Amino acid sequence: MSTQQVRIPTVVIPFDSECRTELCQDVCVYLRPEANGIQVESAMMRTISTNPHYNENVKLVYLANIPGEFIAKHRIIEQHYRLKISFAKQGKRLFTAYMQREFSRYYKVPFEEAEILGAFEAMKRLHYTREGLFNLWVPAEDVFHLNGQTIKRVKELFIVNYDIPAILQKNRTSTDIAVMILRTKLGPGSMHSLMEDMVERLKADGLLQQSEAFTRVFHFSRSPFEQILDGIGFLYKSDGTHIPLQDIQFYNYLLQQGMSRTEIHQILHYPIFGFPNGKGRLKEQTVYAASSGMDYKRAYQTLLTAKAQILLD
């Protein structure tokens, strides 16, 4: 693909980074490629404009359309899902000792005896297409979320990150992604309430089935660390260059606390940490899950409690 053929992002509202207090909580929202972008975006914005509380306190500070070929050229999706892709390829081989114990505890199956397949191997073994594996339904009790990975039990097999092959296919060169940054000083709790209200609006408008998970339509940053990950992936200027990373609110906050850029990127590259569980042992969690719903200060303080970082490739 030549440079001349690659469309650059269409930035409708350039990113506003002027707010420099930890009260400014930014949430990145992007629509899934399969979503009806214009209708979903309109419904989400109506959720804000028709509610006086949100309308007064939530501001749209970035709006852009990221072309599929731009995403493909810069391998944005591959970088964003780096660890999940590794598990989808390697499956059982990548499980840490903690994950092995938790797997056996949840499914009541000895880890050594379990047939655990990455999604790509499962496709070949079960003769599923990417979309077929993505839509494979199993009872809720057969699904286990562990260290940012999703495990599904299908009869005697266990499939890791069933959705990754389809996600990589959906984000092809012909598919664009709409991205928004919402900012508020109300705190992370209010942003989560806003997301819940947006989901209800989408269901009322028939843009999301009652039984369908909202994650099939849109994604939002659930923690400050995820804000950085999303910002690195989807915040661009109208000339196609990335915004300065220090303009991402929580990235800047961490710099102000004395962290280096290298340290921040190491956290994102290896996001699984061991945190004290209060019983003298460590509980592994991604830094995204450990800081979910937190403000900047609490998220940073949570990171400081980590006793180990798990290095997986």
Considering the domain boundaries, does residue 159 fall inside one?
yes
Considering the domain boundaries, does residue 7 fall inside one?
no
Cα 310 to the center of its chain, rounded Å:
19
Tell me the average pLDDT of the chain: 90
- Shared-domain flag, residues 122 and 164: yes
| The pLDDT of residue 212 is above 80 | no
- Which stretches of 84-142 are assigned E, i.e. beta strand? 115-118
pLDDT of residue 20: 60
Structural domain total, the chain: 3
- Which stretches of the chain are assigned E, i.e. beta strand? 10-13, 25-31, 58-66, 115-118, 143-146, 149-154, 157-160, 177-184, 218-220, 272-276, 282-286, 308-309
pLDDT of residue 36: 57
- Shared-domain flag, residues 215 and 249: no
Considering the domain boundaries, does residue 1 fall inside one?
no
CATH code of the domain covering residue 200:
3.30.70
| Burial class, 100, CB count within 10 angstroms (exposed 0-12 / middle 13-18 / buried 19+) | middle
Confidence of residue 22 (pLDDT cuts 50, 70, 90): low
pLDDT of residue 1: 45
Considering the domain boundaries, does residue 242 fall inside one?
yes
Top-confidence residue, 132 or 184 = 132
- Shared-domain flag, residues 126 and 154: yes
Residue 96 and residue 101: Cα distance in Å, rounded? 9
- Shared-domain flag, residues 300 and 255: yes
Q: How far apart are the first and last CA of the chain?
A: 29
Considering the domain boundaries, does residue 304 fall inside one?
yes
- Shared-domain flag, residues 259 and 279: yes
Helix, coil or strand: residue 277: coil
Top-confidence residue, 23 or 194 = 194
| The pLDDT of residue 216 is above 80 | no
pLDDT in tens, 166-202: 988 876 766 788 899 999 877 777 888 888 899 899 8
Top-confidence residue, 240 or 213 = 240
- Shared-domain flag, residues 62 and 180: yes
- Shared-domain flag, residues 233 and 272: yes
Closest CA to 265 of 295, 287, 280, 281: 287
| The pLDDT of residue 157 is above 90 | yes
| The pLDDT of residue 124 is above 90 | yes
Considering the domain boundaries, does residue 73 fall inside one?
no
Top-confidence residue, 266 or 167 = 266
Helix, coil or strand: residue 90: helix
**Beta partners for residue 144, in sequence order:** 151
- Shared-domain flag, residues 53 and 135: no
Residue 207 and residue 218: Cα distance in Å, rounded? 11
| The pLDDT of residue 40 is above 90 | no
| The pLDDT of residue 118 is above 60 | yes
| The pLDDT of residue 4 is above 60 | no
pLDDT in tens, 217-265: 788 899 999 999 999 999 999 999 999 999 999 999 999 999 999 999 9
- Shared-domain flag, residues 253 and 106: no
- What average pLDDT score do residues 263-272 get? 97
| The pLDDT of residue 3 is above 50 | no
| The pLDDT of residue 77 is above 50 | yes
Greatest distance between any 2 Cα atoms in the chain: 58
- Shared-domain flag, residues 189 and 267: no
Considering the chain, what percentage of its residues have pLDDT values greater than 90? 65
Residues of the domain holding 265: 229-313
Tokens standing for residue 29: 């929202």
pLDDT of residue 2: 46
Contact 143, 151 (CB under 8 A): yes
Considering the domain boundaries, does residue 5 fall inside one?
no
pLDDT of residue 174: 67
| The pLDDT of residue 125 is above 80 | yes
- Shared-domain flag, residues 58 and 196: yes
pLDDT in tens, 44-74: 899 999 999 899 988 999 999 999 889 988 9
- Shared-domain flag, residues 254 and 301: yes
* DSSP per-residue letters across 11-66: EEE-------STT-EEEEEEE-TTS-HHHHHHHHHHHHHT-HHHHHHEEEEEEEEE
Considering the domain boundaries, does residue 192 fall inside one?
yes
